[in-house]
């Protein structure tokens, strides 16, 4: 299946030509004396590119992107300010071009590398090594990758059933989710049901929850600074039925620096701990009818974030230094998707963010905020496993610093996949 802009066409062409040249030359060279025969896969990794174009309309006076800094509770600073967390503007949008390279390296390891290319440049989205031959159900993974906590975090944008993330994910983790340099150890238990446990250690550079500044008044903490544990389980159901549930917890160092008076200079700094817990449940029915007709999915996920930070310096209010700021927010989403005709699907998603939404300030004042909610409906058409068209409408009521704001959004999405792209997980 498909689904994730152009850096520079010459640069991209060079990458592909280089890979092809290396592959051709290596395939033509004979194996050296004493070497095991080499298969073409060693020199011909699976290569794919995802193109994801969408049109966006909303009726907000300043556009939906302005909500990032005005959400009550959730809008309280991040580790680094000034970024467009909504990642969308009115009119045409091109989500980053996802270039993916993957291969089984040898009998012991496989590799995956993903470059996210947009109109401003390129960044490493994933670069990971995974073992394939560890005993007793163990697997080790290392590099830069998405945490496997929950259900949605590890899935790329082209795998989502809706064009956008649920509110609770976007507002607590940001549009990039929890993606960092780290290692992961997982264990598949020899049990009559599917039971997978995992432990992860990340360096700690997630700007919304596990940010690290490490200069000025803020101390430099040695890494890795984040620890995450999760458990996933599912019974062996008959026919095309599948059920998977999971729980996860995470904790790590978190730092923030803020410009309180808006003059462009940071004037107060906080250092402490970020924590989260999550729970998810997914049911899928894979119908025997062709092209996804009668397929049915129910997906529910809950996420709770807490930041406990000490004010280490404040240029404008030094008397508050040593006090703590504690932020607590949570939320959930629930969605259903049904294949009502061959290649056609329809879905509904309901979500709330801020059921708990409060901030305790260094002055020991406690402020509670209201919640935001949104209803989304979508219909999509999948002509083949390499393309998809989608229409989506959102109606949201958001709690901002200026009061309640109701916004309607319309999105039209067009995605294609070029090249070999592996099957997606459950």
pLDDT for residue 84: 40
Residues linked to residue 41 through DSSP beta bridges, in sequence order: none
Residue 208 near residue 226, CB atoms below 8 Å: no
Residue 372 near residue 167, CB atoms below 8 Å: yes
- Is 275's pLDDT higher than 90? yes
Give residues with Cβ within 8 angstroms of 259, minimum separation 6. Answer: 81, 265, 266, 267
pLDDT for 203-233, tens place per residue?
Answer: 998 888 999 999 999 999 999 999 999 999 9
Give the β-pairing of 366-368 and 344-360.
antiparallel
pLDDT for residue 32: 41
Q: Is 323 exposed, middle or buried (0-12, 13-18, 19+ CB in 10 A)?
A: middle
Residue 343 near residue 383, CB atoms below 8 Å: yes
Lowest-confidence region among 32-41, 58-67, 69-78, 152-161: 32-41
Closest CA to 345 of 94, 162, 95: 162
Mean pLDDT of the chain: 86
- Is 69's pLDDT higher than 80? no
pLDDT for residue 14: 42
pLDDT for residue 261: 72
pLDDT for 350-385, tens place per residue?
Answer: 999 999 999 999 988 999 999 999 999 999 999 998
Closest CA to 349 of 390, 391, 394, 380: 394
Most confident of 104-108, 238-242, 297-301, 313-317: 297-301
Closest CA to 279 of 247, 244, 304, 231: 247
- Is 113's pLDDT higher than 70? yes
Cα–Cα distances (Å) from 349 to 35, 333, 337, 373, 379, in that order, read 55, 7, 9, 11, 12
Whole-number Å distance between alpha carbons of 37 and 106: 12
Residue 70 token pair: 């005005």
pLDDT for 249-262, tens place per residue?
Answer: 999 999 999 887 76
56-92+136-418 topology per CATH: Porin (2.40.160)
pLDDT for 386-413, tens place per residue?
Answer: 999 999 999 999 998 888 899 999 999 9
Whole-number Å distance between alpha carbons of 193 and 237: 9
Give residues with Cβ within 8 angstroms of 63, minimum separation 6. Answer: 89, 90
Residue 13 main-chain phi, psi, to 5 deg: -60, -40
pLDDT for residue 401: 82
Angle at 375 between CA 370 and CA 380, to 5 degrees: 150
- Average pLDDT (81-87) is 43
- Is 70's pLDDT higher than 90? no
pLDDT for 148-188, tens place per residue?
Answer: 999 999 998 999 999 999 999 999 998 889 999 999 999 99
The model's confidence at residue 80, banded by pLDDT at 50, 70 and 90, is: very low
The model's confidence at residue 37, banded by pLDDT at 50, 70 and 90, is: very low
The model's confidence at residue 19, banded by pLDDT at 50, 70 and 90, is: very low
The model's confidence at residue 310, banded by pLDDT at 50, 70 and 90, is: very high
Residue 112 near residue 130, CB atoms below 8 Å: yes
* Domain boundaries defined on the chain: 56-92+136-418
Residue 254 near residue 307, CB atoms below 8 Å: yes
């Amino acid at each position: 299946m498909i689904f994730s802009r152009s850096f520079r066409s010459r640069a991209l062409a060079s990458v592909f030509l280089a890979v092809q040249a290396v592959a051709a030359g290596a395939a033509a060279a004979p194996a050296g004396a004493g070497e095991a025969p080499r298969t073409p896969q060693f020199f011909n990794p699976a290569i794919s590119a995802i193109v994801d174009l969408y049109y966006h309309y909303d009726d907000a006076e300043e556009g939906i992107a302005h909500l990032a800094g005005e959400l009550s509770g959730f809008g309280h600073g991040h580790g680094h300010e000034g970024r467009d967390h909504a990642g969308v503007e009115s009119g045409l949008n091109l989500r980053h071009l996802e270039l993916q390279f993957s291969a089984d390296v040898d009998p012991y390891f496989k590799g995956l590398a993903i470059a996210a290319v947009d109109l401003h440049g390129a960044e490493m989205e994933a670069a990971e090594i995974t073992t394939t031959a560890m005993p007793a159900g163990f697997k080790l993974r290392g590099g830069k990758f998405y945490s496997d906590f929950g259900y949605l975090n590890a899935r790329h944008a082209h795998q989502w059933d809706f064009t956008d993330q649920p509110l609770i994910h976007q507002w607590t983790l940001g549009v990039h989710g929890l993606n960092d340099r780290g290692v992961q150890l997982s264990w598949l238990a020899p049990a009559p049901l599917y039971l997978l446990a995992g432990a992860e250690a990340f360096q700690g550079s997630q700007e919304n929850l596990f940010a690290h500044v490490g200069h000025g008044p803020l101390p430099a903490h040695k890494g890795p600074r984040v620890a995450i544990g999760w458990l996933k389980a599912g019974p062996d159901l008959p026919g095309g039925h599948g059920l998977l549930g999971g729980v996860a917890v995470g904790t790590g160092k978190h730092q923030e620096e803020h410009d309180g008076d808006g003059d462009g200079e940071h004037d107060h700094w906080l250092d402490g701990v970020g924590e989260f817990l999550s729970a998810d449940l997914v049911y899928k029915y894979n119908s025997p009818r062709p092209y996804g007709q009668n397929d049915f999915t129910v997906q529910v996920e809950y996420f709770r974030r807490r930041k406990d930070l000490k004010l280490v310096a404040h240029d404008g209010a030094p008397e508050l230094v040593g006090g703590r700021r504690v932020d607590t927010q949570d939320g959930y989403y629930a969605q259903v998707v049904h294949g009502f005709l061959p290649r056609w699907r329809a879905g509904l998603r309901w979500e709330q963010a801020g059921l708990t939404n409060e901030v305790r300030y260094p002055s020991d004042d406690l402020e509670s905020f209201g919640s935001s909610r949104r209803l989304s409906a979508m219909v999509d058409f999948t002509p083949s496993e390499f393309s998809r068209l989608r229409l989506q409408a959102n109606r949201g009521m958001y709690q901002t610093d200026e009061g309640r704001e109701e916004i309607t959004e319309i999105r039209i999405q067009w995605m294609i996949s070029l090249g070999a792209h592996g099957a997606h997980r459950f």
